[in-house]
Amino acid sequence: MRQTQHFIPTLKENPTEAQIPSHQLMLRSGLVRGLASGVFSFLPMGYTVIKKIINILREEMEAIGGQEFLLPALNPIEIWEQTGRVEAMGDVLFHIKNREGLVLAPTHEEIITYHAKQHVKSYRDMPQIWYQIQTKFRNEARPKSGVLRGRQFTMKDAYSLDTTWEGLDEAYQRHYDAYCKIFNRCGIKFFVVGASSGAMGGKKSQEFMVESNSGEDICAITDNYAANLEVATSQVQPVARINENLLIEEFATPNAKTIDDLIEQFNIPEERCAKSVVYMVNDEPWLILMRGNDELNETKLQAVAGTNNIRPAGNDELVKYTGADHGSIGPVGLKGNIKVVADLLLQDANGMVSGANKDGFHLKNIDLKRDANISEYIDLRTINEGEICIADGQPLRVVKAIELGHIFKLGTRYSEALDAKFIDADGNLNPIIMGSYGIGVERIMACYIEQNHDEKGIIWNKALAPFFVHLLGLNIHKSDEVRAASEKLYADFKAAGIEVLFDDREETAGVKFNDADLLGLPYQVVVGQKNLKDGNVEVKNRKTDERFVISINEVVKELTFRD
RNA sequence: CGGAGCAUAGCGCAGCCCGGUAGCGCACAUCGUUCGGGACGAUGGGGUCGCAGGUUCAAAUCCUGUUGCUCCGACCA
């Protein structure tokens, strides 16, 4: 492709709206342009990269027996009502204003299940893997980070249909393996974490994550362990019981509002402090007891409570249920009817200090077994950087991550809701057992760039690069020799089946070099007067910055065998 | 949805406080010089200052409203 005939609008400066490297570089290198918040146009180079990603997705999905569909984005709302997801999705689901009864599909479990119900009637019709690569619409409350969170995006979504749970396990595992291959082929460093299923419903799910400061998820990882912080645990010694078991005693703490105040003013070891926080769970008060300054993990609390409807109690509620303001709350002598749960680390602890439920006073020598009415000990704490991993004893790293893919064992939630049943070998009617597997296509592109760039621009690998070779004709408009040599090389590369972008613009050398580094094609082949007089060209490897001079007659062959 | 910020030429910005005919850099066009790491000079084109009201002799500037974009938070398959 000749650059003079290809639309590649590069920018020298970062547009202000772009805050993260991938967004900045996608704009600067002319891959995308924003159209509205969370809505992007892909320019020819950007779309070329998307097509490369899609080819990889398609090959690996076909390799596990996937059959490609193209399903409509316009969906009848009735189907979504039948699965309860109109309500579950809430504002995220786009509704069509001037055509009642249609919504824009944010994902396609419902439509797949609808077609399965129509035609998959016998156990002989399964297993099936159905997939598509299609535009999804989600009315995100806050689109951000370029294409990483958009209102319209491309997703590879796949669905497995099985007759047995073992069949689902196998389909799930195949997708797991395929996803690893896909991300490896794309050259993305990733890890897999167990995750909560959210509004999708289902039994088990795992997320494929990419470590990135631009990520929205937080994970705890070592070389052998990875978990979303929402579920991560670590090896921390529980608060031990001490021998002397003194009687509970109230003491005045007029200036101690926090655990740190207590530690400082009364010389109490941090682990002997029990911090109390009050949450309203479905509008019922829970007092949650945490060790010292451990932080409550709200997602763990939600899991225990079985609801997302939790919030910290307000001041009025604190006084109403405990008798004190924050700072003096504890598990003993509560005023109202309130459920008390405690973190696992506090199991049966004694000799503890906590609030007296009386402003300005605390209690010491609390024995949680003797003095408090703890209904449950549960893991509720947020782990911290550096704590010891339960799997391999290494210190945990707490990192931000981007979710690239998500695989779910859905089970029968959708097949039951939409009555998609099959007849088994014994003549019985059973719901189809389903799995659902998604990958964000634009996210692959953005994550790759997040991981592979430097101060000059993007560093593409062969798999995703829009072109493999960037042929730079220096001062091509001023030198007939350079013109002739680079035209010939351009033809030779094309004849050899090497994807080549030919910078035949009338620009200065510096502009071409800088644009080439910005676009980041794997190899730059520089045709200039300097080397041409000896019949040579210079080759630069964008990733390693390796440069070498080679005969113009050898360079095509040389690059044919490179990655 | 809560909190904050921004909106002036394709991009990056100044001007606004203190109202008086809209500027700078890059990019773009033409000419000359330069010619392997974002060249130099000259000349030129391009903006109803997000939009709508209001105040005023006069509004980019002051007031009110509104829309869009970004960030923090909430939410998120």
Which residue's alpha carbon is at the shortest distance from the C1' of B71?
A: A19
d(CA A448, CA A443): 8
Distance from CA of residue A246 to its chain's centroid?
50
pLDDT tens figures, A59-76: 999 999 999 999 999 999
- Look at residues A507, A500, A503, A520 and name the one whose alpha carbon lies nearest to residue A456: A520
User: Which nucleotides in chain B lie less than 7 Å from some protein C-beta?
Assistant: 1-2, 6, 11-13, 25-27, 34-39, 68-77
Confidence of residue A190 (pLDDT cuts 50, 70, 90): very high
The closest nt to A27, taking CA to C1', is B11
Q: How far is the CA of A299 from the C1' of B3 (A)?
A: 24
Is residue A522 pLDDT above 90, yes or no? yes
Q: Which of A76-80, A94-98, A161-165, A203-207 has the lowest mean pLDDT?
A: A203-207
Residues 394-433 of A with CB under 7 A from strand B: 406, 408
Query: What's the confidence (pLDDT) of residue A203?
Result: 67
Query: What's the confidence (pLDDT) of residue A68?
Result: 98
Q: Whole-number mean pLDDT of chain A?
A: 93
The closest nt to A477, taking CA to C1', is B35
Query: Coil, helix or strand for A202?
Result: coil
% of chain A surpassing 70 pLDDT? 99
Query: What's the confidence (pLDDT) of residue A437?
Result: 96
Q: Does nucleic acid strand B have an atom less than 7 angstroms from the CB of A551? A: no
Q: Does nucleic acid strand B have an atom less than 7 angstroms from the CB of A200? A: yes
DSSP letter (8 states) at residue A420 = -
Residue recorded with tokens 């530690």: A263
Query: What's the confidence (pLDDT) of residue A230?
Result: 83
Does ipTM surpass 0.90 in this model? yes
Is residue A198 pLDDT above 70, yes or no? no
Query: What's the confidence (pLDDT) of residue A169?
Result: 95
d(CA A85, CA A138): 13
Query: What's the confidence (pLDDT) of residue A199?
Result: 46
Extended strands (E) in A265-337? 274-281, 284-291, 310-312
Is residue A32 pLDDT above 80, yes or no? yes
**Average pLDDT estimate for A524-534:** 96
Is residue A298 pLDDT above 90, yes or no? no
Please answer whether residues A47 and A73 qualify as being in contact, where contact means their C-beta atoms are separated by less than 8 angstroms. no
Is residue A473 pLDDT above 90, yes or no? yes
Is residue A8 pLDDT above 70, yes or no? yes
Confidence of residue A222 (pLDDT cuts 50, 70, 90): very high
d(CA A216, CA A237): 30
Confidence of residue A503 (pLDDT cuts 50, 70, 90): very high
Query: What's the confidence (pLDDT) of residue A197?
Result: 53
- Look at residues A217, A155, A208, A222 and name the one whose alpha carbon lies nearest to residue A178: A208
Which residue's alpha carbon is at the shortest distance from the C1' of B77?
A: A200
Q: Does nucleic acid strand B have an atom less than 7 angstroms from the CB of A136? A: yes
The closest nt to A310, taking CA to C1', is B74
Query: Residue A44: in which H helix or E strand, if any?
Result: helix A44-63
Is residue A201 pLDDT above 70, yes or no? no
Q: In what order do the strands lie in the sheet with A523-527?
A: A500-503, A469-473, A523-527, A536-541, A547-551
Q: Does nucleic acid strand B have an atom less than 7 angstroms from the CB of A282? A: no
Query: Residue A261: in which H helix or E strand, if any?
Result: helix A259-266
Q: How far is the CA of A464 from the C1' of B37 (A)?
A: 26
The closest nt to A514, taking CA to C1', is B38
Is residue A259 pLDDT above 90, yes or no? no
d(CA A525, CA A539): 5
Query: What's the confidence (pLDDT) of residue A194?
Result: 81
Q: Does nucleic acid strand B have an atom less than 7 angstroms from the CB of A531? A: yes
Confidence of residue A389 (pLDDT cuts 50, 70, 90): very high
Q: How far is the CA of A23 from the C1' of B19 (A)?
A: 40
Q: Does nucleic acid strand B have an atom less than 7 angstroms from the CB of A17? A: yes
Q: How far is the CA of A390 from the C1' of B62 (A)?
A: 64
Query: Residue A59: in which H helix or E strand, if any?
Result: helix A44-63
A501: which 2 tokens? 């972008």
pLDDT tens figures, A244-253: 778 999 999 9
Please answer whether residues A222 and A392 qualify as being in contact, where contact means their C-beta atoms are separated by less than 8 angstroms. yes
A486: which 2 tokens? 């680079």
**Average pLDDT estimate for A438-448:** 96
Q: What is the pTM of this model?
A: 0.91
Q: Does nucleic acid strand B have an atom less than 7 angstroms from the CB of A478? A: yes
Q: How far is the CA of A17 from the C1' of B49 (A)?
A: 20
Query: What's the confidence (pLDDT) of residue A292?
Result: 87
Confidence of residue A507 (pLDDT cuts 50, 70, 90): very high
Angle at A460 between CA A456 and CA A466, to 5 degrees: 115
Confidence of residue A536 (pLDDT cuts 50, 70, 90): very high
Query: Residue A354: in which H helix or E strand, if any?
Result: strand A352-355
Q: How far is the CA of A8 from the C1' of B43 (A)?
A: 29
The closest nt to A202, taking CA to C1', is B77
The closest nt to A536, taking CA to C1', is B36
**Average pLDDT estimate for A441-467:** 96
d(CA A376, CA A379): 10
